Homo-oligomer: A and B are copies of this chain.
């Protein structure tokens, strides 16, 4: 994938935002983008997407990115944050979002084709701000 492809697929411009998490040497180890989950009468709920380098897991990138999304959503005046697709077998992610105040609203059954586990649920997680 080219840099332009990556930019086009991942980066979200204003009023949304894309950020990176770096290690102490300045290397990028994760990224998040954040945006309104819907337009018009649903635009008071934010959402976000995350990627962390699997080789740099457990180094705090996910938590730092999640806290950044919370701060951005609060300062932007959103009333809640909704994650639409947390893979239910990704226990570290589910535990992280719970620790940041998110609740599981439901699991959409068999909505994600996992390379190892086959069809697994996608959690919808939510918190008010």
Which secondary structure characterizes the binding site on chain A?
Answer: strand
**A38-B85, A42-B85 as given contacts; A126 in contact with B108, CB under 8 Å:** yes
Q: Do A82 and B106 have beta carbons less than 8 Å apart? A: no
Classify chain A's interface size: 20 to 34
Taking A42-B111, A44-B113, A105-B124 as given, write out 15 further A-B residue pairs in contact, using a Cβ cutoff of 8 Å, ordered by the A residue number. A37-B111, A38-B111, A41-B114, A41-B115, A42-B85, A42-B112, A42-B122, A45-B108, A45-B111, A79-B119, A82-B108, A106-B106, A106-B124, A108-B124, A108-B126
> Which residues of A does B touch, CB under 8 Å?
37-38, 41-42, 44-45, 79-80, 82, 84-85, 105-115, 119, 122, 124, 126, 128
CB pairs A–B below 8 angstroms (27 shown): A37-B111, A38-B111, A41-B112, A41-B113, A41-B115, A42-B85, A42-B111, A42-B112, A42-B113, A44-B113, A45-B108, A45-B111, A79-B119, A80-B109, A80-B111, A82-B108, A82-B111, A84-B84, A105-B106, A105-B107, A105-B108, A106-B106, A108-B124, A108-B126, A109-B126, A109-B128, A124-B124
